[in-house]
Structure 1
Amino acid sequence: MAEAFQFELVSPERLLVSEKIESVVIPATEGEMTVMANHAPVMTTVKPGVVTVKTVGGQEERYVVFGGFADILPTGCTLLAESATAVKHIDRADLAQRIQDAREDVADAKDDHSRTKAEEFLHQLTTLEGAVIPA
């Protein structure tokens, strides 16, 4: 059994997780990363995606996050999300609205840099939609 460490998932609305866990997979901006006890210290930004938490009992819990950042230390990890909810509680209408807003941002972009950023965010949201909502 892997060594446990403290993990917290926090959104502006509430504390979603605060417990000892075995591992967590975070959708970091530069790619997914698995965090376990004694991980090297690092801070990373988080893109929209699914956070998968493996509990000490071996169960997996999944949460949807819409950006934020993670502070990782050998003794624990804190993920501060812009918005987060359990996958089982995902609101399809809210996700559809976020995707529509992102499409509008792409269409309204004033320059190439803004358009590229908006397209990247739209791609992240549509990928997330495919990952959490069955076809």
Structure 2
Amino acid sequence: MATFDLELVSPEKLLLSRPVEMAIIPAAEGEMGVLPGMAPMIVALKGGVIRVQENGQITERLFVLGGFAEITPTRVTVLADEATPVASLSRASAEARVKEAEAAYNAAGNEAPELREAAMDRLLAAREMAAAAEAA
């Protein structure tokens, strides 16, 4: 089957770099399946799980807290704000992040709409992290 090169980069390190059949990414508009030969585009990512498919099966699941993906017909480069293998997620840490994000969102009640929206994005990403940690 046809493949494309997938690279997942976080500020700390290069987490993944290899040919894959398909990747499902958490685009800001919704989950997006990426296949070889896709039209070039850049998409914003929301907090969620990137699923990597090889030989017809999901072989890797990585949680990203947000970022961008650059898609070309032969390569996908994900620049993640933060990325962690789902198996490494801690339920306690994820729940603590949810509590912090809820407090920040509640504190942003009288702030400018952009600040409230950013706080809501962090809260939604923290909830996705907690859900991914539960499922792991």
When normalised by structure 2's length, the TM-score is: 0.87
Equivalent residue number for residue 126 of structure 1: 127
Is 1:65–1:83's contact at 8 Å kept on the other side of the alignment? yes
What residue number does 2:9 align with?
10
Gaps of 5+ in 1: none
RMSD: 2.0
Aligned to 1:27: 26
Q: CA deviation at 1:15?
A: 1.1
In structure 2, do the counterparts of structure 1 residues 59 and 32 end up closer, same or farther at CA, with 3 Å as the change threshold? closer
| Counterparts of 1:116 and 1:71, CA distance in 2 | 24
Asked if 1:99 is matched to 2:98, the reply is yes
Check whether the contact 1:38–1:75 (CA below 8 A) recurs between aligned residues: yes
The answer to whether the 8 Å contact 1:45/1:68 transfers is yes
What is the CA distance between 1:120 and its match in structure 2? 4.0
Aligned residues: 134
Moved over 6 A (4+): none
- CA shift for structure 1 position 117: 3.6
Gaps of 5+ in 2: none
Amino acid at match of 1:119: M
Change (3 A) 1:111 1:59: closer
Quote the sequence identity (%).
39
Greater CA deviation, 34-43 or 108-117?
108-117
> Residue in 2 aligned with 1:111?
111
Deviations 1:7-60 (A, max 9, x none): 001111111110000000000111110101001001011111000001247442
